[in-house]
Amino acid sequence: MILKALLAFFVMSFEAQAEYRAYQYIVQSNDPYAVATKAPAQYIVSTLNPQMYKSYHGGSRINIDLLRTWICPGYTGRNQRVCDHPYDKSGPQQ
């Protein structure tokens, strides 16, 4: 009985810390009409890595350039917003 109580206390005393990686891209279209009209590039922040983002959002019809990546603490479910880049909050540490 005591062993079960100690085991339960031990398991419950650890708190799970989730984290995920965020990516920032510049996305441009390869569509000839968009190129002719000089459609602007878009800055995108996503949790999808470069290969997954490209295959999910257009494949060969888009060009993506990875700008930066960072780790976010927490949970990404329930349509929660991706965390901001740490330098956007406080500026680079010197």
pTM over 0.75: no
pLDDT tens, residue by residue, 47-57? 999 999 999 99
Amino acid (one-letter) located at 68: R
Domain boundaries, the chain: 17-74
pLDDT tens, residue by residue, 16-38? 678 899 999 999 888 777 767 77
How far apart are the C-alpha atoms of 37 and 62, rounded to whole Å? 15
Tokens 């956007």: give the residue. Answer: 88
